[in-house]
Amino acid sequence: MKRSRYLAFTVILITALRADLKSQTFYVNVHREPFDNRTYAINIQTHDTIRLFTCAPTNDTLQYFQKVYTDMAMDNSQNLYYVSSWGSLYKRSLGDSTCQFLGTFGHSINALVADANGDLLAAGNHPGAAILYKFTAANNSFDSIGRLPADYYSSGDLFYYENNLFLTGTNSIASNSFLIKIDLSNTTASCYYMDLQNLHPWGAFTLANPTPKAYLMSHNGEYPSPYNSTLYEINLVSRTISPMLDSFPFGVMGAATDYMPLLPLSANCNSMPVTFSRFNYKLLDKQVELIWETTSETGNQYFLIERSTDGNSFQVIGKKNSAGNGTSIHHYSYVDSAPLLSNFYRLKQVDWNGRYTYSKVLSAKFPSMNSIAILGNPIHDVLRIQIKENLGNLLNFLILDMTGRKVKTGRVTNGIQEINLSTIAPGAYRLIVTTKNGQFFSQQFIKVK
């Protein structure tokens, strides 16, 4: 009886949403501890929030974290799709409570979006970079599309804007966040689009109200602390982010609307002021040489070289004028003659009109800093590390999965240490150890069953 009343009430709410709020409503999937998947409909103008029925996953039966919905999508037929951290895909109509298991991508997935045909694109992280996948509704097939450029990882959502497809991205150590413009015809040609100010953009979507506007949901907090999420508007023309529009008392895992892209999709990344084909570094004798290369510059005036000790707060340490606008290849370099113990670098490209964009962030460390070793890789339930040099009595460690999400934090001391990882899923992870003086160490490892 309670269930029938709940379903009837849900149908009434859905009808109201369809009739009056469709163009102003977006949907988010939320995960609460312990295992609890939820769906909310939120009005972008009033910020009214309604909880909707969420189907329980049926295919993921091993451990509870494999049942967590990591993202959702919506097509223009009012069907919702959910993907679990284990890559299982589910579908339900907003008009009823029945769920359909569609199959599995066969890999961990954290980003999902639907197109007008009911086909879905997804992204999941692997060692080295994210990989894009496609679900084709006509034959119920799951296929790999291709790999993104090196060190471009998915931080949580795919979304369309006009005739463009974007992915919220991060690097391998999750030291910054940015938008990636996706080239579906050649995924390795996908490119950096704009900086996201170190937000945690696990949800992103576009609303046509009446002109298209794009938004981000930043997931904040760390278990067992309370989660919350904050809402921002992204201007994809000026490449700027609004002040916070609102906050919500839950941690958003993904977001969706029925916004459909203009076709055909753009595959050209050269619409940016500067197209970087390379940004790397060389270690010299007590110096760091930054090297970058552009294949296109439009209205570019100069580059500012910025450095940070933590990947968050940057200071300008140098400047390089543009070598010229056009489509010629230009080579640049800058030597940091006084690097710090921990070095993060980025480029700030500044136009003649004052607009600017940021490059990806690089992390540079010297061989003498490689003082931490992982003993045995791959590992099973215990991560054994050896701290080879005296780096201080107490060091902080952080373990990230390949989406950039924290799975464990703590402290270690000198010598051989053991970290219990029996509760985390098999997969690729990154260990980051920092000292009190800012020295930084990072190594990747694989956990197997």
Query: Domain residue spans in the chain?
Result: 2-256, 274-364, 367-447
Q: What is the pLDDT of residue 391?
A: 58
Assigned superfamily of 274-364: Immunoglobulins (2.60.40.10)
In our burial notation (b when 16+ CB lie closer than 10 A, e otherwise), range 82-109 reads: bbbbbbbbbbbebeebebeebebbebbb
**pLDDT for 120-160, tens place per residue?**
999 999 888 899 999 999 999 999 999 998 888 998 899 99
- What is the structure's pLDDT at 45? 87
User: Domain 367-447 carries which CATH code?
Assistant: 2.60.40.1930
CATH class of the structural domain 2-256:
mainly beta
**Domain 2-256 matches domain 274-364 at the CATH topology level:** no
pLDDT < 50: residue spans in the chain: 1-6, 8-9, 12, 16-17, 19-20, 223-225, 367-369, 437
Of the CA atoms within 13 Å of residue 97, those in its CB half-sphere come to 13
pLDDT of residue 389: 62
